[in-house]
């Protein structure tokens, strides 16, 4: 590859344009509020966005295969409520152990999704639409409609995300570690590449020996595990486990993927893009009050951004196809 073409591919990549866009956004907000780009504020934004980053990456792998996981918010709710209740009734149990249990609960919930898709042949959207209701309903059933509030949680549980390592909060570390591991998984492991293969062309992937069932189990279990961690982090960070925890969050995770350049039809996208997409959403959410826009505009603005991002995705894909065609004709 000659140097000019490699520069061209870098500038054409979604990640580059997203970084530029984030830069422009930060600059624009700073014009109105000079304090916005400060170390503490940036840290706050990343902290706010870490949960979204983790769950969006799980969502990303599902979307990569052409599916969708609508149950992530309910999995966060159920695993978060379970973990908070375990902490409430067993205050002696180390917080790290509760985190692992929450993660395992998420894993089991994800495996149920995966089994229904892989072995029951139920399409992902129907499976997760169903489990979205089931898991949310189960949250109400186990909690009997009650909340777990701050004074019922132990100090160490509430400190899970707030703790500090090298001056950076634990929650941010979780976001970073998950992102790095998942980046490696998607790019350099066999299973990771197989997920791309299934998303790109299911039939071809099967012919080269990719087992679709195993892939479905992998992606939904992964999404469950990440939602499980997110659930524990959510309830400990906000020091409350309510029954509606994270309701509607699934749309934000899909939005982060779409903004990050992931094609809803499957087969294309990357972890880095998803992380940037989530950060972009996080910055927007934090910037609204700073530039004096009422938070009631948040929903509209998010929808509009997703729509624009999708239009850009589609149009650039079309252009790429046309260029490919042109290249062939020459």
Partner 1 sequence: MAEKKRELVSGSRLVDENSLKERLIVIFTKWEVILAVLIVFEFILFSNLSPYFLDYFNLMNSTFTFMEKAIMALPMIFIIMSGDIDISIASIIALCSFSMGFASSHEIGAAGIVIIGLLAGLSAGMVNGFLVTSFKMPAIAVTLATQSIFRGISQAILEDQAYTKYPEKFAYFGQGYLGETLIPFELVLFLVLAAIMGFVLHKTQYGRKLYAIGNSKEAARFSGVKVDRARFINFTLMGLFCGISAVLLTSRIGSTRPNIALGWDMEVITLVVLGGVSITGGKGNLFGVLMAIFLLGYLKFGMGLINLSAKVMIITTGLLLIIAVLLPGFLDTVKARRKLRRQQKESGMVEV
User: Which residues, at least 6 apart from 74, have a Cβ–Cβ distance to it below 8 Å?
Assistant: 131, 132, 133, 134, 135, 136, 139, 246
Closest to partner 1 by CB, 100 or 115? 115
CB of 123 to partner 1, least distance (A): 5
CB of 261 to partner 1, least distance (A): 13
CB of 254 to partner 1, least distance (A): 6
Per-residue buried b or exposed e for 52-68, using 16+ beta carbons within 10 Å of the residue's own CB: bbbbbbbbbbbbbbbbb
Closest to partner 1 by CB, 43 or 212? 212
Closest to partner 1 by CB, 216 or 237? 216
* Residues binding partner 1 (CB under 8 A): 68, 116, 120-123, 125-127, 129-134, 136-138, 140-141, 145, 251, 254-255, 258, 264-265, 294, 296-304, 306-307, 310-311, 314-315
Closest to partner 1 by CB, 149 or 314? 314
Closest to partner 1 by CB, 47 or 74? 74
CB of 291 to partner 1, least distance (A): 15
CB of 248 to partner 1, least distance (A): 9
């Amino acid at each position: 590859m000659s140097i000019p073409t490699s520069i061209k591919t870098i500038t054409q990549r979604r990640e580059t344009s997203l970084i530029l866009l984030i830069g422009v956004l930060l600059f624009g907000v700073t014009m109105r509020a000079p304090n916005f780009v400060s170390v503490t504020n940036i840290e706050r934004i990343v902290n706010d966005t870490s949960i979204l980053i983790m769950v969006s990456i799980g969502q990303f792998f599902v979307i990569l295969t052409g599916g969708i996981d609508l149950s992530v918010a309910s999995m966060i709710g159920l695993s978060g409520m379970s973990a908070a209740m375990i902490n409430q009734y067993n205050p002696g149990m180390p917080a790290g152990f509760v985190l692992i249990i929450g993660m395992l609960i998420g894993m089991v919930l994800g495996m149920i999704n995966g089994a229904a898709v892989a072995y029951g042949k139920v399409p992902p959207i129907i499976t997760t639409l169903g489990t979205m209701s089931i898991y949310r309903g189960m949250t109400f059933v186990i909690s009997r409609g009650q909340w777990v509030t701050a004074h019922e949680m132990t100090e160490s549980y509430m400190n899970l995300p707030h703790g500090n390592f090298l001056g950076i909060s634990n929650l941010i570390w979780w976001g970073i570690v998950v992102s790095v591991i998942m980046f490696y998984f998607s790019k350099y492991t066999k299973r990771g590449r197989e997920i791309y293969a299934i998303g790109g062309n299911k039939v071809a992937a099967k012919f080269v020996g990719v087992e679709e069932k195993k892939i479905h189990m992998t992606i939904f279990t992964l999404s469950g595990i990440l939602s499980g961690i997110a659930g524990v982090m959510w309830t400990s960070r906000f020091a409350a486990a309510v029954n509606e925890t994270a309701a509607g969050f699934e749309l934000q995770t899909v939005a982060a993927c779409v903004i990050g350049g992931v094609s809803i039809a499957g087969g294309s996208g990357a972890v880095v893009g998803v992380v940037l997409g989530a950060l972009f959403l996080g910055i927007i959410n934090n910037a609204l009050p700073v530039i004096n826009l009422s938070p009631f505009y948040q929903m509209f603005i998010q929808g509009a951004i997703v729509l624009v991002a999708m239009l850009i995705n589609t149009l650039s894909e079309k252009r790429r196809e046309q260029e490919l065609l042109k290249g062939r004709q020459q």
